[in-house]
Amino acid sequence: MELKQDNYSTHISQQFNDELEEIRTELLTMGGIVERQVHDAVEALLTGDAEMAERSRRVDKQTNDMEVMIDERCTTIIARRQPAASDLRLIVAISKAVNDLERMGDEASRICRHAIELVEDGDSQRGYQEVRHIGNLVRNMVKDVLTAFARNDAELAYHVAKQDKAVDLEYRTAMRSLMTYMMEDSRAISSCLNVIWVLRSLERIGDHARNMSEHLIYLVSGTDVRHLPLSEIKETAGISDSTED
């Protein structure tokens, strides 16, 4: 009888583990789609490919559906499995991360919309170098935070959070350039504004990647590091002081 009970518990617990692994896999799948969408949105803009922008924009529907589906699954697991401690943390972190991914997808769609407008305007390429540069930084953040989730790697997550500072700095510099372009040539105002919105969306995607990295650090360490300065996040993530900053 006891053995049977044990087998039963193992069975239940194995099933539970499978369910947890499943939502983590779904998060990573959704992450891959969003990563691709961000990539395509930036490429479509830089190459003036309105068709690619239109295609990438439609992906939004898919990520919206995935958000609702994963969220529902999280709630069902909580209701049925009544998880405690670290299991509950995993579910909470995934639910929050999925929300950030969905918002990244929204921003990627916005980039596509502006890419299409820029093509229609006869794009002047003003500010494109800034978009390429910040786009690369942000895409790396998205890639890294997904890797961090796949590996439960708090140190990599911390580096993503740190990278967000660099993006914010580049963003402010780029905004100043765009403002100068507009002042120099008022006919460029409309297209410069489109580029400004794109830069803003990229900066927001960086913010969401940083949020995701904070959710992962919460998952690994049990400490909610949102709104904390980088130095405290570093400590929480268990990174030794010798790491270069």
Please give the residue ranges that form the binding site for its own copies (CB under 8 A).
64-65, 67-68, 71-72, 75, 78-79, 82-85, 88-89, 92, 96, 99, 179, 182-183, 186, 189-190, 193, 196, 200, 224, 226-227
Which is nearer to its own copies, 54 or 224 (by Cβ)? 224
Q: Please report how close the Cβ of residue 2 comes to its own copies at its closest, in angstroms.
A: 25
Residue of 173, 147, 171 whose CA lies nearest to 160: 147
Please say which residue, 166 or 189, places its beta carbon nearer to its own copies.
189
Q: Looking at beta carbons only, is 88 or 150 nearer to its own copies?
A: 88
How many Cα atoms sit within 13 Å of 13 on the Cβ side?
Answer: 8
Candidates 110, 117, 167, 112; CA nearest to 144 is 167
Nearer to its own copies, 166 or 183 (CB): 183
- In the complex with its own copies, which residue's Cβ is closer, 50 or 193? 193
What is the three-class DSSP state of 220? Answer: helix
Measured CA to CA, the distance from residue 211 to residue 100 in angstroms comes to: 7
CA distances to 18, 23, 94, 213, 236 from 220, in Å: 19, 17, 12, 11, 10
Contact indicator for 196, 178 with CB cutoff of 8 Å: yes
Q: How far is the CB of 231 from its own copies (least distance, A)?
A: 17
Residue 91 CB, shortest distance to its own copies, in Å, is: 9
Q: How far is Cα 199 from Cα 127, in angstroms, rounded to an integer?
A: 9
